Copies of this chain bind each other. A is one copy, B any other.
Amino acid sequence: MEKKITIYDLAKELNVSPGTISRSLNNHPSISQKTKDRVVFKANEMGYKVNKFAVNLRTQKSNAIGVIVPKLNSNFMSTLLAGVEKVVNEAGYNLIISQSLESVEKEIMNAKTLYNSGVDALLVSLAFNSESSEHFMPYIKSKIPLIFMDRVFNLPNCPTIVIDNFQAGYDATNHLIQQGCKNILIVTGNLKRNVYSNRLLGYKGALEDNNIVFNEVNIIETSMEPQSAKDVVDYIKSMNVPIDGLFVLSDSFAAHCMQKLKTEGFSIPNDIKVIGFNNDPISELVSPTLSTIEYPGYSMGLLAGESIINQIKGNINLQETNSISLRHKLIVRESSKK
């Protein structure tokens, strides 16, 4: 490895004092812009590197924010992270992103690794099968800001950023009922997660308000992976009372179900009306275009980023605003037309 460049090397090269180098690199007002420019140019040219670790040791700040999400390659999650990254990057923080890959074991390991990395804060969206909050306790004990987004635990002093999943589920179901559906199947992911269980409650609420009796057989819980679309269509074909409405809690899985239904001879929206969730780009591009609930991923990301920065800096006390709920929107397209 090459010898590490120090401020003394820079001072010698530029024929100024080490103090001038140090003040220039710290943008001190006592140094002229011309000198600063010369120093910064030479520092870059020679490959000078700030000893950030020494700075960290002094300030006990890592300037890093940890993130744990189920997986990076989902449209909603990558959109949300794009929002978070924009805000924290502009505030001078680095974002350390890790995936649980829907496994609680990996979530526990990531929480531990990020804790030991000395992150200043943690943003979490939970894995499918995460049930205990034990692995977040070290953050709470050390008073490191911890915010849950979308898939959340409700822990004391840990703000959550969510949408009103109950109301969103209600609105989607109510829309199908208004379009004439009387026997609606809801297709959901793991009901341990708040996002899905609350949308299911909304579904039940809308049925009740429209005097439709809820039937347990009208819930199907799946992995929402493309290959499960066949199971959903087989289930629909096996039902005694024909389904006339389908509420799928993910646009991308709804698109797969529609495709499978079409190849099995179902006409959408004539035989079955369909509504998805998320307003993924895909929902505008399938035929028929897919009705859905718009879910503000990017805004959620911006807000999560702003909240965490404010909390680190002590500008606001998020404990007082323990849950931030963002507005969703019903988007009606061809798949649920009368």
Contact = CB atoms under 8 A, between A and B. Distances in A.
Interface of A: 1-2, 5, 44-50, 52-54, 56-57, 60, 62-64, 71-75, 77-79, 81-82, 85-86, 89, 92, 94-99, 101, 106, 110, 113-118, 137-138, 140-143, 226, 252, 255-256, 259, 281-282, 284-287, 298
Contacts of A50: 116
A200 to B, nearest CB: 25
Contact of A46 (B86, B94, B141): B141
Nearest to A135: B44
B142 A47 contact: yes
B82 A72 contact: yes
B85 A72 contact: yes
Contacts of A285: 252, 255-256, 259, 282, 285-286
A52 B133 CA distance: 24
A137 B47 CA distance: 8
A2 B282 CA distance: 48
Contacts of A94: 96, 98, 113-114, 117
A53 B58 CA distance: 9
Contacts of A89: 98-99, 106, 110, 113
Contact of A82 (B99, B118, B140, B281): B99
A226 to B, nearest CB: 8
A117 to B, nearest CB: 6
A23 to B, nearest CB: 17
Contacts of A86: 99, 101
Which of A62, A94, A117 neighbours the largest number of chain B CB atoms within 10 Å of its CB? Answer: A94
Contacts of A115: 49
Given A44-B137, A46-B141, A72-B85, 12 more contacts: A2-B141, A5-B142, A44-B138, A47-B142, A53-B62, A64-B117, A73-B298, A86-B101, A94-B96, A255-B285, A282-B282, A286-B286
**3 cross-chain pairs, A with B, having the tightest CB-CB distances, nearest first:** A47-B141, A78-B78, A53-B56
A64 to B, nearest CB: 7
Contact of A49 (B45, B98, B99, B142): B142
15 contacts: A2-B143, A48-B138, A49-B118, A49-B138, A53-B53, A56-B56, A72-B79, A72-B81, A72-B85, A75-B75, A94-B113, A94-B114, A252-B281, A256-B285, A282-B282
A96 B96 contact: yes
A73 B63 contact: no
Nearest to A99: B85
A115 B138 CA distance: 30
A275 B261 CA distance: 25
B64 A96 contact: yes
B95 A98 contact: yes
